[in-house]
Structure 1
Amino acid sequence: MASSFSRRFGYQGVPAEITVREDAPEVLREGIVMLADHLGLSPHSARSKVCGILLRRPDPGNWSAYPNVADEVQELVWQAPWYRVYDIAEGFYESLSENDPESGRQFENRLNEFFRENGIGWAMENGLIIARGSEIFAESSKSASMLMASTGRQTAAQEMHEALADLSRRPEADITGAVQHSMAALECVARDVLNQPTKTLGQLVSSLNLPKPLDAGLEKLWGFASEQGRHLREGRTPRFEDAELVVTVASAISVYLMRGASDQ
């Protein structure tokens, strides 16, 4: 398949502001079916995948691919709970990749473009739907995870992985879990850098030699995470954006500490 004009010349719009998280708007429900069909997934294969995900019996009266089975697929996707729509997207990727890995890659790339263009706070990575935040969030968390793993800080890397997984849970993100795990990752890094394996992050802040007033900022972040992630009070449930901020800052500070340690 020849590349499109926008890909040949590198044109892409500014990502739309994220306005959709716990929803699957009509345009997405229509879009994933159209995209899978365009990339060669037959209506019968699509129906098999959708029915398996939704645990619905295929209509035995529908035999012809177009329009009967194709319309059935669209109707099933249209009526599915919002979080199942993302399960279906993963299923379509799987079916396309089994037939032709390149078709799976094209499905993932085009779907991610669609998410960005339509302000949908999800992304597909290696066939799995994960939470998508701001560009700063994406870059900082990715850099932190890679550096933790490459420097042998596997516990910290696992904690950061769990934080990102918590934000990607469906139908509801585990906000408090994301806060807890991201700060645990930062705590692991701080303990390793200072060789203080038993102290908490709150006890280590003053020894990290952070530029002032960033040290005070980290103390406040630790306090916020302790209150919102560990000692919740009624009516004080953190938002997704709060967790995204904590993960972003924890990632950035972790990278700062690890790079500083490597320079010594």
Structure 2
Amino acid sequence: MATTVLHTADTRGNANHGWLNAYHSFSFGNYYNADRNQFGVLRVLNDDTIAAGMGFGTHPHNNMEIITIPFEGDLAHKDSMGNEATIKTGDVQVMSAGAGIQHSEFNPNADQQTKLFQIWLFPNKQNVTARYQQITLDKTAQKNNFAQILSPNQEDEGVWIHQNAWFFMADFDADFTKNYTISSASNGVYLIVISGSITVGDQNLNEKDAIGISDFTTVAIKANTDAKFLIMDIPMKL
């Protein structure tokens, strides 16, 4: 029997620093919730709004798979591997921190905020050589479909990471229904609504609500309105 956990938008942690307004689905920084340290290998899901011209100075990471998905505006990235890039709305970026990396992230626009998800997954390999990858997504592939944007396989669609995980973006029309089938028997799913309203199984979810499901094979997802959402299909054990 499937096991579910519901995380409604209004139960997330919040840290508003003025230049940064961050909502934390899991314990992060000064926000700690003993019941929300992770879901499987998903350690961090931050919903960040960064003010114009502001950002994160150079800071280190190691042994974490870090995925950034902007939904509004841009993010300028610079790292210790020599990468300098602007991540735009419609892109996805992955950074395998591995043995260690330093990077900075800034909103390069003087007149527009940047909104994004930053997601951290525990890797299945330690101390790998750090790497960076960025692609532009095909938004048309997301229409009434689960469009793969991340996987463990270099040859597959989307970016790849050191973990047995698959991410899918979907953009459903109102009243459209499609069944989602788990990618690996040992995985679970953490789904968050980006906009609109959907029903997952028998659970209604609105904007920025999330649900974690484990011990299942297939679940029906129905759009109650036009809706966009992200599915993270991830191992439940480290």
TM-score, normalised via structure 1 length: 0.22
Greater strand content = 2
Structure number with the higher helix fraction is 1
